[in-house]
């Protein structure tokens, strides 16, 4: 596709359930980022991938959060045993080669997660 | 660790007023700086960026930002805002020792009254 695609666009789940969020980056983009946008909290960095590996996992809030990327393309963010504080918009972004002047970050529309 | 502060959380202006949104970062070395904008119902998009060279950077839609290294600042400006500039604005920094990590500020919600 032409842009970063995230699915689902909205997800409502019960506390304690597991959820899986998907991101399809722009074709050929090697770097992929996950951010969380909570009301009044700005964008919180979660994790980024260079190819299939994640050089920095420091942003993951807890061990309930995990992410993987396969084939240098699709990434999934999994949240186990969801809590109400996990409610937020989860944003994915990709860039062709990393943060270079000619390689801007492209964002998807996000997945709005609501934990009831 | 790099961090970014946007001190103005909400700004309300009338059309044609001048705009300046503050952005300060904490890292003392070389940085790349960005402003992103999120219009209502749309995804985040790049407004402008600074990597090197002229510290006064011009972006889309008449926006500009000035990198002042001594003040660790990268404030966003526009001489005359329009109603269509109503959006949330995010400053972001990538420090030279942070690889490809991009850290965002908390955002500033701008409302322009017609």
Residues of A in contact with B102 (CB under 8 A): 33, 45, 99, 105
> A5 touching B, CB under 8 A?
no
pLDDT score, position A15: 97
Which residues of B, range 39-78, sit inside 8 Å of A by Cβ?
Answer: 42-46, 49, 51-52
pLDDT score, position B54: 94
Give which of A51, A56, A60, A57 is closest to A98, Cα–Cα: A51
pLDDT score, position B27: 86
Is A43 within 8 Å of B100 when comparing Cβ atoms? no
Residue A57 has pLDDT above 90, yes or no: no
pLDDT score, position A101: 63
Q: Which of B99, B100, B107 sits opposite A42 (nearest CB)?
A: B107
pLDDT score, position A96: 87
Q: What is the mean pLDDT of residues B34-54?
A: 93
Distance CA A14, CA A17 (A): 6
Is A42 within 8 Å of B103 when comparing Cβ atoms? no
Give which of A26, A21, A32 is closest to A4, Cα–Cα: A26
pLDDT score, position A41: 73
Which residues of A, range 69-108, sit inside 8 Å of B by Cβ?
Answer: 91, 93, 95, 98-101, 104-105, 107-108
β-bridge partners, A72? none
pLDDT score, position A1: 52
pLDDT band per the 50, 70, 90 thresholds, residue B99? confident
pLDDT score, position B14: 97
Tally: H helices and E strands in chain B: 0, 12
pLDDT band per the 50, 70, 90 thresholds, residue A4? very high
Instruction: Kindly list the distances between the CA atom of residue A94 and the CA atoms of A2, A28, B56, B113, in Å, as whole numbers in the listed order.
Output: 12, 10, 26, 34
Residue B52 phi, psi dihedral angles, 5° rounding: -170, 175
Tens of pLDDT along A11-50? 999 999 999 999 999 999 999 999 999 876 778 989 989 8
Count CB neighbours of A83 within 10 A: 13
Residue B102 has pLDDT above 90, yes or no: no
Specify the 3-state DSSP secondary structure of B5.
Answer: strand
Percent of chain B with pLDDT over 70: 99
Shortest alpha-carbon distance between residue A99 and chain B (Å): 6
pLDDT score, position B68: 96
Is B90 within 8 Å of A43 when comparing Cβ atoms? yes
pLDDT score, position A40: 67
pLDDT score, position A105: 87
pLDDT score, position A104: 81
What's the angle, vertex CA B50, arms to CA A6 and CA A100, rounded to 5? 55
């Amino acid at each position: 596709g032409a842009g970063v695609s995230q699915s689902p666009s909205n997800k409502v789940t019960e506390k304690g359930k597991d959820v899986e969020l998907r991101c399809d980056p722009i074709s050929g983009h090697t770097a992929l980022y996950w951010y969380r946008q909570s009301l009044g909290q700005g964008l919180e960095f979660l994790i980024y991938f260079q190819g299939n590996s994640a050089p920095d996992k420091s942003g993951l809030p807890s061990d309930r959060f995990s992410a993987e990327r396969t084939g240098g393309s699709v990434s999934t963010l999994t949240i186990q045993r969801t809590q109400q504080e996990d409610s937020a918009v989860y944003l994915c972004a990709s860039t062709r080669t990393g943060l270079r002047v000619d390689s801007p970050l492209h964002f998807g529309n996000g997945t709005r997660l609501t934990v009831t | 660790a790099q961090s970014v502060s946007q001190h103005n959380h909400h700004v309300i202006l009338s059309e044609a007023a001048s705009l300046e949104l503050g952005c300060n970062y904490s890292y003392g070395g070389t940085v790349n700086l960005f402003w992103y904008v999120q219009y209502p119902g749309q995804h985040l998009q790049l407004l402008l960026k600074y990597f090197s060279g002229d510290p006064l950077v011009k972006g889309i839609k008449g926006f500009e930002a000035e990198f002042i290294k001594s003040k660790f600042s990268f404030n966003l400006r526009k001489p005359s805002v329009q109603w269509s500039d109503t959006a949330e604005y995010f400053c972001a920094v990538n420090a030279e020792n942070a690889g490809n990590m991009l850290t965002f500020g908390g955002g500033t919600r701008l409302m322009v009254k017609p």
